[in-house]
Amino acid sequence: MDNFKGQIRSLKVYGDDFWEFFNKQTQKVQERILWTIRIIRDIQFVPQTYLKHMEGTDGLYEIRVSSGNNIFRIFCFFDEGQLIILLNGFQKKTQKTPKSEIERAKKLKTKYYEDKQK
């Protein structure tokens, strides 16, 4: 998911959480996740339908993916301008995003910056 010609943003996966989530999904859901990530990577102004800032957080965003009646969220944040760091994902089953998933993303973001300092 590194930067190629024509891309506006580049994406990196931090840790194993995203891949653990991704690999558990059906092929159809995986394709939908990758399609959504390509939109975020390639278009100048990304609609909130696909990428939305999480209110009450310090720069966390959620990538919003839907496949059929299923809704999925992938937490991420921006680092160094146009670099998006993918953290963790989950299937959304309630109206509100579970606090445990937000806390997990916050911890991963903190760990990312700690590792980056090393």
| pLDDT 10s digits, 69-112 | 999 999 999 998 889 999 999 999 888 888 999 999 999 999 99
Report the first-to-last Cα separation within the chain, whole angstroms: 23
- Contact indicator for 105, 75 with CB cutoff of 8 Å: yes
What pLDDT is attached to residue 4? 53
What pLDDT is attached to residue 3? 45
Residue 1 has pLDDT above 70, yes or no: no
* Per-residue tokens: 95: 């109206």
pTM, 2 dp: 0.90
